[in-house]
């Protein structure tokens, strides 16, 4: 492999000649060979492109950066946003906790690509300097948390929230479709009083509606950006008005209403906005886990389980048992839910690592957050399209289980009292008779009264 020599404050480093990164990126690449598959998410790299472009425009407006340098920075940032330079961002999550090396990776790529666009060799005087131009008015300590919030906001707004809305609406549609299907309810996994299948599904839809509200509310604190705080939150080396103007420019480029954080010391040293928003993702994971488990239990069988609903038969379920079909979408969704709950533990611990003026678990925080947001969105779309849309009631089985339930006797509480009704249920259960037979045999009701009072349609 051909190399070129790059320099930083620690000296010379050999860098692959065909790559655009520089000395600091190469040092990180060599010093942190920890899980090469755990690359810094490209959502973060693209967020950096937005903020570097916005910073360049802001610096030019405030007369501290030349226009031609702004234009070069913006041109390269647009290439990054269009996935043209992906191969030049090789770093992993497991690096410095401030994300400094990824910030410098972006700075170096922008500077070196600008050199190419200017038709100059790397040996010639640089047209852009990584620290003095691309990183002007910035520090890794305020750019990385800003990139975190930009990436998180884009992922939630463009992917996660629409996907959850799709599943929520699909469940609402099914709730309306099943509104007249009366079935037996269950509490403690035991028979309970009747409800409709539509009512059951309406509970699922409401769970997601509540989760969506929490997630949407969490967008507000994530909209606050640390950029302008520089090293420790004081804004050292920034021109007056920079923080407000750069947030405005980021809003223009992303189409998302960002604003500068009112307190930069908090924005650099703690990440409660990420904690709060991921808590909403965890809430959704808990709800989705319940929904997926209920659906696979209701569909269990097809002949020796509950079997009250029929789910789509998407793929063979066994390599040895012919004809077996499994609730694979439920299994995938519950695995995703488990991953999100695990990610929440990592984020909680990561957020505790704010020592004095800087949190030093930033890469871990955003990597876990973005994984959760991506997985939940993907899983909700898959579950809606490949499972919920195709669910149909198993009317025969629903009626069989409904009529066989002892808990229909609850309708007699107000007629003959709880204790006599309990005696009827126990007699029917121990003697393996119907509720009606037991009630009449005990002399507590007539057949006519039983038929009139114990009617599932009047119990929902």
Cα dihedral 395, 398, 401, 406 sign: negative
| Enclosing H/E stretch for 163 | helix 161-177
Contact 389, 360 (CB under 8 A): no
Q: Which residues contact 3 (CB under 8 A, 6 or more apart)?
A: 14, 15, 16, 17
Strands 224-225 and 354-355: unpaired
Contact 227, 247 (CB under 8 A): yes
Q: How far apart are CA 180 and CA 292, in angstroms?
A: 22
Q: How far apart are CA 151 and CA 45, in angstroms?
A: 9
Please count the CA atoms within 13 angstroms of the CA of 167 that sit on its side-chain side: 30
Residue 324 marked ligand-binding: yes
Q: How far apart are CA 276 and CA 299, in angstroms?
A: 35
Residue 141 marked ligand-binding: yes
Residue 99 marked ligand-binding: yes
β-bridge mates for residue 187, sequence order: 190
Question: How would you label 433-442 residue by residue, b for 16+ Cβ within 10 Å and e otherwise?
Answer: eebbbbbbee
Compute the C-alpha angle 275/104/346, nearest 5°. 25
Q: Which residues contact 69 (CB under 8 A, 6 or more apart)?
A: 56, 60, 127, 128, 133
Contact 278, 369 (CB under 8 A): yes
The 3-state DSSP class for residue 157 equals helix
Residue 140 marked ligand-binding: yes
The 3-state DSSP class for residue 392 equals strand
Maximum CA extent, the chain: 105
Contact 85, 131 (CB under 8 A): no
Residue 326 marked ligand-binding: yes
Alpha helices in 322-391 (DSSP H): 328-351, 362-386
Q: How far apart are CA 89 and CA 81, in angstroms?
A: 13
Residue 100 marked ligand-binding: yes
Compute the C-alpha angle 162/289/153, nearest 5°. 30
Positions annotated as catalytic residues are 188, 318
The Cβ of residue 210 has, within 10 Å, a number of other Cβ atoms equal to 14
User: What residues are designated binding site for substrate?
Assistant: 98-100, 139-141, 187, 319, 324-326
């Amino acid at each position: 492999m051909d190399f070129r020599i790059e320099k930083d404050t620690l000296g010379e480093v050999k860098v692959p000649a065909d790559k655009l990164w520089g000395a600091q990126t190469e040092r990180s690449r060599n010093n942190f060979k920890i899980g090469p598959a755990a690359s810094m998410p490209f959502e973060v790299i693209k967020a950096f492109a937005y903020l570097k472009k916005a910073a360049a425009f802001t610096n030019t407006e405030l007369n501290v950066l030349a226009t031609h340098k702004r234009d070069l920075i913006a041109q390269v940032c647009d290439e990054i946003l269009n996935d043209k330079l992906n191969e030049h961002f090789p770093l992993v999550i497991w690096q410095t906790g401030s994300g400094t090396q990824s910030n410098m990776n972006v700075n170096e790529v922008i500077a070196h690509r600008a050199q190419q666009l200017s038709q100059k060799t790397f040996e010639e005087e640089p047209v852009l300097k990584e620290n003095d131009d691309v990183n002007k008015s910035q520090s890794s300590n305020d750019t990385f948390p800003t990139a975190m919030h930009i990436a998180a906001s884009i992922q939630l707004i463009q992917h996660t929230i629409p996907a959850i809305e799709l599943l929520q609406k699909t469940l609402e549609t099914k709730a309306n479709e099943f509104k007249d299907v009366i079935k037996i309810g269950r509490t403690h996994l035991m028979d309970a009083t009747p409800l409709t299948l539509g009512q059951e599904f309406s509970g699922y839809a409401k769970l997601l509606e509540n989760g969506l509200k929490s997630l949407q509310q969490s967008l507000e604190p994530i909209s606050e950006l640390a950029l302008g705080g520089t090293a420790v939150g004081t804004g050292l080396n920034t021109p007056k008005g920079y923080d407000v103007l750069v947030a405005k420019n980021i809003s223009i480029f992303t189409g998302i209403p960002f604003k500068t954080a009112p307190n930069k010391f908090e924005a650099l040293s703690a990440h409660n906005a990420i904690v709060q928003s991921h808590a909403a993702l965890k809430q959704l994971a808990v709800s989705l886990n319940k929904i997926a488990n209920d659906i696979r239990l209701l569909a269990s069988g097809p002949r020796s389980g509950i079997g009250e609903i029929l789910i789509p038969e998407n793929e063979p379920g066994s390599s040895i048992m012919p004809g077996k079909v499994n609730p694979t979408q439920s299994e995938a969704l519950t695995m995703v839910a488990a991953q999100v709950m695990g990610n929440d533990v990592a984020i909680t611990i990561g957020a505790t690592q704010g020592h004095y003026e800087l949190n030093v678990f930033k890469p871990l925080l955003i990597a876990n957050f973005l994984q959760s947001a991506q997985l939940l969105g993907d899983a909700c779309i898959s579950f809606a399209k490949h499972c919920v849309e195709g669910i149909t009631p198993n009317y025969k089985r629903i009626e069989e289980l409904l009529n066989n339930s002892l808990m229909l006797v609850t309708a007699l509480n107000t007629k003959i009292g709880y204790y006599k009704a309990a005696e009827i249920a126990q007699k029917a259960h121990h003697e393996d008779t119907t509720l009606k037979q037991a009630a009449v045999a005990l002399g507590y009701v007539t057949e006519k009264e039983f038929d009139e009072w114990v009617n599932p349609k009047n119990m929902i």
